[in-house]
């Protein structure tokens, strides 16, 4: 199946980097990652297996966006605008849909 995407590969890669940064940020503190794991039903051991899934990254960014305190803290730490997290979520969501 041929990959179809309306976004350039560099844009998709940048969105993935935002998501991987968010995962690293959450995983860096049990009080940050714990609520995400509880909400998603994943265990810490599950993370390695699902980390390549575009749907996982969309869910991860959804969680971060829903927690404004975490969103702002991550954006500050990553030195990005919080809107970049929202944009990355949209890019990954639509990229995941194009792969189906």
Q: What is the pLDDT of residues 9-46, one digit of tens each?
A: 578 899 999 999 999 999 999 999 999 999 999 998 89
CB 94 within 8 A of CB 21: no
Where do the structural domains in the chain lie, given as residue ranges? 9-99
Q: What is the pLDDT of residues 44-91, one digit of tens each?
A: 889 888 988 889 999 999 999 999 999 999 999 999 999 999 999 999
* DSSP annotation of 5: -
Rounded to whole angstroms, the Cα distance separating 2 from 37 reads 33
């Amino acid at each position: 199946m041929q990959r179809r995407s309306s976004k350039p590969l560099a844009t998709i890669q940048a969105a993935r980097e935002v998501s991987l940064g968010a995962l690293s940020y959450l995983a860096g503190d049990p009080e940050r990652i714990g609520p995400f794991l509880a909400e998603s039903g994943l265990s810490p051991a599950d993370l390695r297996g699902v980390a390549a899934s575009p749907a996982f990254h969309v869910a991860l960014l959804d969680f971060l966006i829903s927690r404004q305190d975490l969103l702002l803290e991550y954006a500050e730490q990553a030195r990005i605008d919080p809107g970049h997290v929202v944009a990355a979520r949209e890019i990954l969501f639509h990229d995941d849909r194009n792969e189906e």
